[in-house]
């Protein structure tokens, strides 16, 4: 029985959820810049008190700007990838587990759920794929 892409994607998603891997849409830098600019401006205008006020105001603005941009990797894998991208990821995962000589889904899924080294290889492949192909940053 060949490896079914959908079932493999669900297995990868389970592993990503267990490890609490999240992705961001490159909003972290923007939030940090807003926070720093607010603290700087507050410091110039009000001195040390302005640093605290500006930093707090900037932190709140950064929170509002980036709210919702951090998502679980599992959600991205199951909902955001096109069929072509899912097939491409499955090929990458198959290449990653090739050293374990697994070509049957009935063998792969139990091994994937119980073998830490296979989980690490598959998760690393998924993270690399999402980072390179989707240009998302990974948060562990």
* pLDDT surpassing 50 at residue 104: yes
Q: Do 86 and 119 lie in a common domain?
A: yes
76, 53: one domain: no
How wide is the angle at C-alpha 133 spanned by C-alphas 87 and 116, nearest 5°? 70
Q: Same domain for 61 and 79?
A: no
Q: Mean pLDDT across the stretch 28-55?
A: 89
Residue range of the domain that includes 98: 1-25+70-140
How far, in Å, CA of 18 to CA of 111, rounded? 16
The verdict on 36 and 79 lying in the same domain is no
Q: Are residues 48 and 11 in the same domain?
A: no
Q: Which value, in Å, is the radius of gyration of the alpha carbons in the chain? A: 20
Total domain count for the chain? 2
Q: Among 75, 95, 91, which residue's Cα sits nearest to residue 24? A: 75
Task: State mean pLDDT over 29-56.
Answer: 90
User: Global pTM?
Assistant: 0.60
């Amino acid at each position: 029985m060949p490896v079914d892409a959908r079932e493999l994607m669900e297995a990868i998603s389970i592993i990503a959820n267990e490890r609490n891997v999240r992705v961001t849409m490159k909003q972290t830098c923007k939030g940090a810049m807003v926070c720093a600019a607010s603290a700087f401006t507050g410091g110039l205008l009000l001195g040390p008190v302005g640093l605290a006020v500006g930093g707090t105001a900037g932190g709140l603005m950064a929170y509002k700007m980036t709210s919702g941009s951090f998502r679980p990797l599992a959600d991205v894998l199951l909902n955001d990838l096109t069929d072509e991208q899912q097939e491409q990821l499955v090929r990458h995962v198959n290449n990653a587990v090739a050293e374990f000589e697994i070509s049957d889904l009935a063998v792969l899924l139990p091994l994937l759920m119980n073998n830490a080294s296979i989980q690490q290889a598959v998760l690393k492949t998924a993270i690399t794929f999402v980072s390179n192909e989707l240009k998302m940053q990974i948060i562990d």
